[in-house]
Structure 1
Amino acid sequence: MTFTIRRATAKDVPTILQFIRDLAEFEKALDQVEATEATLEAAMFGPGAVTSCLILEKDAVAAGFAIWFYSFSTWQGRKGLYLEDLYVAPAFRGRGGARFVLTQLAKIALEQGCGRFEWSVLDWNTPAIRVYDGVGAEPQSEWIRYRLSGDRLKALAEQ
């Protein structure tokens, strides 16, 4: 199966939102999706946008997407590419689409002078872990990811 890939445009926002919902459902977190077409369009394509998106296609049909942004490594003194979400629709899985997206993102990272390409994966998502292992990625088990959101974020900000 031959895939193509392209940069997303504002016209892709409905598709992007559907993929976000599909991914959240797969991750058993659909109830946590707050994104709307309006918030995505502003965040991804409005002034000051800090994210980018690729659309994976097969025969001009959207088959998946990847959303990323740039991080920064103080140790390297360079930016890094952080993959926020990678999703391939079930009908297109197992055919190399995820690996193709990762390859394209690796090329973007090198073209942009990034010192790293990083992402997170749920520990139970073995199909994704197999793909990541297959491209030579190394798990970073010594780091613990922390998060503040919602009321806890507000509480800290109000101190």
Structure 2
Amino acid sequence: MTSVGADVRTRLVREPDVETIVRMVHDLAAYEKSGNECRLTVDQLRQALFGERPSLYGHVAEAEGRMVGFVLWFLNFSTWTGTHGVYGEDMYVEPEFRRHGVGRALFEAMARECVQRGYQRLEFWTLDWNTGTIAFTASLGAKPMDEWTVYRISGPELTELGGSPAGEP
């Protein structure tokens, strides 16, 4: 467990945390003006974190005897560095605990994973309009990767592309 300030502690996610994290993910989606797009369930998150082959990891922040924030992350891989990295998928801090070191503590937890495991990168996305988070992460040393454009294939386009028999034996 890591302590930041006198009142905030971070630790790895435990199975009893899942329901609270799902609520917070839905709160985050609403904050990002995408609440109607968030379909995460308790069972889905439990399976990703604690199933037979976990593909997701995370830390929670606690203060005043309760969970006040979380970060969920997964491994990526850089062929240029030849090492894994950490991709921060979602981070959320309860509004009344923002600006109290909670976000920094959660970033420190991910960075510690990178350092301890020899990973070379900690990456994440931030919405262009979220100037508070942009300034905060810049204060931690984050640099925008603005020469790259993110693309996504999803929905019917993904189904059509993935349903094609091309290349199958």
Asked if TM exceeds 0.5, the reply is yes
Please report the RMSD computed on the Cα atoms of aligned residues, expressed in angstroms. 1.0
Mapped partners of 1:47, 1:84: distance in 2: 21
State the partner residue of 1:33. 38
State the partner residue of 1:103. 108
State the partner residue of 1:68. 73
Offset at residue 105 of structure 1 (A)? 1.1
State the partner residue of 1:118. 123
Match of 2:16 among 11, 14, 35: 11
Match of 1:139 among 123, 139, 144: 144
Could you tell me which runs of 5 or more consecutive residues in structure 2 were left unpaired when the two chains were aligned. Answer: 165-169
How many percent identity over aligned positions? 36
Mapped partners of 1:59, 1:89: distance in 2: 12
* Greater than 4 Å deviation, 4+ residue runs: none
Mapped partners of 1:32, 1:101: distance in 2: 25
Mapped partners of 1:139, 1:90: distance in 2: 25
Q: Which has the larger radius of gyration?
A: 2
State the partner residue of 2:92. 87
The reply on whether 1:150 has 2:159 as its aligned counterpart is no
Q: Residue 86 of structure 2: SS of its match in structure 1? A: strand
Q: Paired residues, what number?
A: 159
Offset at residue 114 of structure 1 (A)? 0.4
Match of 2:60 among 55, 58, 62: 55
Deviations 1:11-34 (A, max 9, x none): 111101001001000001111111
The one-letter code of the counterpart of 2:116 is E
Q: Residue 84 of structure 2: SS of its match in structure 1? A: strand
Deviations 1:39-72 (A, max 9, x none): 1111111011111011111022111100001100
State the partner residue of 1:127. 132
TM-score using structure 1 length: 0.96
